[in-house]
Structure 1
Amino acid sequence: MSASDGRRAEGREELNRPRPTNGPLLEVEKLAVAFRGKRVVEDVSFTVERGETVALVGESGSGKSVTALSCLRLLPGAGGNPAGRILLDGTEVLTAPDADLRRLRGGVAGMVFQEPMTSLNPLHTVERQVSEAITLHQPLAGAALRARVVELLRRAGFPKAEDRLGAYPHQLSGGQRQRVMIAAALANDPKLLIADEPTTALDVTIQAQILELLERLKRELGMALLLITHDLNIVRKHADRVVVMKDGHAVEQGRVADVFAAPSHDYTRMLLTTEPRGQPAPVADDAPEVMHGEAIRVRFPIRRGLMRRVVAEVKAVDGVSVAVREGETVGLVGESGSGKTTLGLALLRLEDSDGAIRFEGTAIERLERSALRPLRRRMQIVFQDPFGALSPRMSVGEIVGEGLAVHEPGLSRAQRAEAVAAALEEVGLQPTMTERYPHEFSGGQRQRIAIARALVLKPRFLVLDEPTSALDVSVQAQVVELLRALQAKHRLAYLFISHDLRVVRAMAHRIIVLKDGQVVEEGEAGQVVAAPREAYTRALMAAAFDLRAAEAPGLRT
Structure 2
Amino acid sequence: MTLLTVENLSVAFRGKRVVEGVSFAVEKGETVALVGESGSGKSVTALSCLRLLPTAGANPAGRIMLDGTDVLAAPDAELRRLRGGVAGMVFQEPMTSLNPLHSVERQVSEAITLHQPLAGAALRARVIELLRRAGFPKAEDRLGAYPHQLSGGQRQRVMIAAALANDPKLLIADEPTTALDVTIQAQILELLERLKRELGMALLLITHDLNIVKKHADRVVVMKDGRAVEQGKVAEVFASPQHDYTRMLLATEPRGAPAPVADAAPEVMRGDAIQVRFPIRRGLLRRVVAEVRAVDGVTVGVREGETVGLVGESGSGKTTLGLALLRLEESRGAIRFEDRDIQGLARSDLRPLRRRMQIVFQDPFGALSPRMSVGEIVGEGLAVHEPGLTRQQRAATVATALEEVGLQPEMAERYPHEFSGGQRQRIAIARALVLKPRFLVLDEPTSALDVSVQAQVVDLLRGLQEKHRLAYLFISHDLRVVRAMAHRIIVLKDGKVVEEGAAADVVAAPREAYTRALMAAAFDLRAETAPGLRI
Mean CA deviation greater in 70-79 or 38-47: 70-79
Is 1:414 matched up with 2:402?
Answer: no
Separation (CA, whole Å) in 1 of partners of 2:225 and 2:411: 18
Contact 2:14 2:58 in 1 (8 A): no
SS of the aligned residue for 2:432 comes to helix
AA aligned opposite 1:124? H
Q: Corresponding residue for 1:333?
A: 311
Q: Corresponding residue for 1:120?
A: 98
Mean CA deviation greater in 515-524 or 454-463: 454-463
Q: How does 1:236-275 map to 2 (within 5 A)?
A: 236-275=214-253
Q: Corresponding residue for 2:370?
A: 392
Q: Corresponding residue for 1:105?
A: 83
Q: Corresponding residue for 1:179?
A: 157
AA aligned opposite 1:290? V
Cα drift, residue 548 of structure 1: 8.9
Separation (CA, whole Å) in 2 of partners of 1:436 and 1:362: 40
SS of the aligned residue for 2:81 comes to helix
Is 1:358 matched up with 2:336?
Answer: yes
Mean CA deviation greater in 236-245 or 94-103: 94-103
SS of the aligned residue for 2:136 comes to coil
Separation (CA, whole Å) in 1 of partners of 2:353 and 2:449: 30
Q: Corresponding residue for 1:313?
A: 291
Q: Corresponding residue for 1:216?
A: 194
Cα drift, residue 453 of structure 1: 1.8
From the superposition, tell whether residues 49 and 445 of structure 1 become closer, same or farther in structure 2 (CA, over 3 Å): farther
Cα drift, residue 447 of structure 1: 2.2
Cα drift, residue 279 of structure 1: 0.7
Quick one: which of 192, 200, 207 aligns to 2:170? 192
Cα drift, residue 26 of structure 1: 1.7
TM-score w.r.t. the length of structure 2 is 0.95
Q: Corresponding residue for 1:469?
A: 447
From the superposition, tell whether residues 548 and 90 of structure 1 become closer, same or farther in structure 2 (CA, over 3 Å): farther
Is 1:537 matched up with 2:501?
Answer: no
Deviations for 1:294-331, whole angstroms, at most 9, x for unmatched residues? Answer: 11111111111111111100000011111001000000
Separation (CA, whole Å) in 1 of partners of 2:76 and 2:415: 29
Deviations for 1:259-294, whole angstroms, at most 9, x for unmatched residues? Answer: 111111111001101111111000011111111111
Q: How does 1:348-497 map to 2 (within 5 A)?
A: 348-497=326-475
AA aligned opposite 1:182? I
Contact 2:519 2:525 in 1 (8 A): no
Q: How does 1:504-523 map to 2 (within 5 A)?
A: 504-523=482-501
Q: Provide the aligned C-alpha RMSD in A.
A: 1.7
Separation (CA, whole Å) in 1 of partners of 2:235 and 2:404: 38
Separation (CA, whole Å) in 2 of partners of 1:246 and 1:518: 43
Q: Corresponding residue for 1:295?
A: 273
Deviations for 1:81-127, whole angstroms, at most 9, x for unmatched residues? Answer: 32332222222222332222211111111111111111111121111
Mean CA deviation greater in 477-486 or 394-403: 394-403
SS of the aligned residue for 1:25 comes to strand
AA aligned opposite 2:335? I
Separation (CA, whole Å) in 2 of partners of 1:249 and 1:426: 33
From the superposition, tell whether residues 422 and 39 of structure 1 become closer, same or farther in structure 2 (CA, over 3 Å): farther
SS of the aligned residue for 2:278 comes to strand
From the superposition, tell whether residues 39 and 414 of structure 1 become closer, same or farther in structure 2 (CA, over 3 Å): farther
Separation (CA, whole Å) in 2 of partners of 1:411 and 1:97: 58
Cα drift, residue 79 of structure 1: 4.5
Q: Corresponding residue for 1:161?
A: 139
Separation (CA, whole Å) in 2 of partners of 1:79 and 1:292: 52
Deviations for 1:429-449, whole angstroms, at most 9, x for unmatched residues? Answer: 344433333233333332222
AA aligned opposite 2:136? F
Deviations for 1:332-370, whole angstroms, at most 9, x for unmatched residues? Answer: 000110000000011111111111111112211122222
Deviations for 1:237-260, whole angstroms, at most 9, x for unmatched residues? Answer: 111111111122211111111111
Q: Corresponding residue for 1:45?
A: 23
Flag structure 2 segments of 5+ consecutive residues without an equivalent. Answer: 528-535
TM-score w.r.t. the length of structure 1 is 0.91
Separation (CA, whole Å) in 2 of partners of 1:94 and 1:523: 56
